[in-house]
Chain A
Amino acid sequence: MNFKLNRTEMFFDLADEQAVIIDTMQGYYYAVNRLGSVLLDEVLKGGTLESAETVLKELGGPADIGEQICAFFDRLKEYRIILEDDGKGEVHIPQTAVTDGFKLEITQFEDMADLLTADPVHDVDEDIGWPEKKDTL
């Protein structure tokens, strides 16, 4: 199984093994731990969850790491960060990504959600009479 970024609603970038994720429609933003950040980046580049499970087990991950990965990506789906895709690539996880363990964590912050939704922007049709057409100004 593989996923792609929900580009129309989300901004994603990886900097220093830390994912920056912003819901550009609602104003939510997310803190993802180091392993979760690197894993998400790898999957968005085409790696599969099955490959991720194999690699993390090779790095010493727990027996239920496959279930943890699925639960983590289920939460990302719930948050509409990702959409299902058909990538079939390999996942590459550096040893540095698991120095803090194998937990996969994401926290959603809603404290700025009101800022983007309070004053919605509406595109208006020029033909309905506002704004005035250029040649009539």
Chain B
Amino acid sequence: MSAVSERFSQCCARYGTEPAERSITVGGVGLHLHFSDQLLAETTKISLNFPAVGSDWDLYIYRDQFPKAVRNREENSYLFHRDDERIFGTFGFDTVFEVDFAAKEGYVCFDADKPVPFEFQCHPLRILLHYIMRVSGKLLLHSAAVGLGDTGVMLSSCGGRGKSTLALSSLIYGLDYLGDDYIILSRNSHRAEMLYTSGYLTPVSLQMMPTLKPYACAKDSSRDDKTLLDLSDFKNSFSTGFTVGAIVFPQISESNQPAIKSVSAQIPTAHLAVSTAAQMPDPDKNEFIAAVMGAIKGIPTYQITLTRNLEANSAVLAQLIKKLKEEKNK
């Protein structure tokens, strides 16, 4: 029994909880998840709704007393320590994690005196998966993505520019859905894969897509009531992965007619790299940004001007993807 699993078992015994297990495969990596209680296991089922194909890593998710050094911080900074085999860190005020690369083992520990963070429900294990993907030849990116069959586009920008709305409206209007906030990208082949099977929308965007209202399952009171969507009824429209033919930079406008045009890589790629680095607390941001830029090198960049007509926005995007497919098949 490893030190982490022993600590996990002791924690379950101390709090008298019944542990639960799930196996899933994310980005081609098999994960065996150990939860200290059934509630934690249930919490992950909406956003990590993948079948299991093998098991490479053991990840432990539990609640425990927090070290004072984590609890008593005044600023929302991150603490890190790493050596050759492991990386420890904090995420926000309420999460401590560790990844042991040699043992292929990790844990996420939440403060037992606080509710489980909403972030864990929407984007479970994000920080662990960031590190696990990095050692698996892939990167976890802050981006949405939609496609048609074997070809798709990444919708990339910092928050608040319409990428989730465009991704989820594209799902409604017939495109394949890969993600609205985070995706996995191979470091050497421009191939994108799904990371989360859920959606996460602002109330304003949800008002614009009444079709999705029945799928709202939780609200994030800490982030202006952003709403988690259970998209399992749309699983036939989930992409199993595609080649990214373009990075599309959304631009909200008052125009009546959506438009898409080729633009310099300078702004879209910088938005993708910086917003991703900001979302993945990593001690070496310089090296990480270089890795992101290396992974997306050579992907053409476009800007889409979005209107309030979501169907028209999605149609313009679909036209671009069809054009990219034709070019790819020439």
Contact = CB atoms under 8 A, between A and B. Distances in A.
Interface string B268-281: 01110111011001
B266 A32 contact: yes
Contacts of A135: 3
Interface of A: 7-9, 11, 13, 15-16, 18-22, 24-25, 27, 29-32, 109, 111-112, 115-116, 118-126, 128-132, 134-135, 137
13 contacts: A13-B293, A20-B266, A21-B266, A22-B274, A112-B270, A116-B278, A118-B278, A119-B278, A123-B82, A124-B80, A124-B81, A126-B81, A130-B70
B265 A22 contact: no
Contacts of A16: 264-265
A22 B77 contact: no
B266 A120 contact: no
A122 B6 CA distance: 28
B98 interface: yes
Given A122-B80, A129-B69, A131-B96, A19 B266 contact: yes
B67 A131 contact: yes
B217 interface: no
Contact of B274 (A115, A120, A121): A115
A122 B158 contact: no
Contact of A123 (B96, B271, B283): B283
Contacts of B148: none
Interface in B157-184: 158
A20 B70 CA distance: 37
Contact of B76 (A18, A112, A119): A119
Interface residues of B, number: 44
B79 A13 contact: no
Given A18-B264, A112-B158, A24 B286 contact: yes
Contacts of A132: 67
Interface in B87-115: 88, 96, 98
Given A29-B270, A118-B76, A126-B81, 10 more contacts: A20-B269, A24-B285, A109-B270, A112-B271, A116-B277, A122-B79, A123-B283, A130-B68, A132-B67, A135-B3
A20 B270 contact: yes
Contacts of B76: 118-119
A34 B263 CA distance: 13
A110 to B, nearest CB: 11
B54 interface: no
Contacts of A126: 81, 83
B265 A20 contact: yes
A120 B79 CA distance: 9
Q: Which 9 A-B pairs have the closest CB atoms?
A: A29-B270, A115-B278, A130-B69, A131-B88, A24-B286, A137-B3, A121-B78, A24-B289, A112-B274
Given A29-B267, A130-B67, A132-B67, A125 B81 contact: yes
B273 A11 contact: yes
A132 B285 CA distance: 25
A74 to B, nearest CB: 21
B302 to A, nearest CB: 14
Contacts of A11: 273, 286, 289-290, 293
Contacts of B297: 13, 15
A131 B89 CA distance: 8
B79 A24 contact: no
A112 B317 CA distance: 26
B4 interface: yes
A31 B277 contact: no
Nearest to A32: B266
Contacts of B265: 15-16, 18, 20
Contacts of B235: none
B88 A109 contact: no
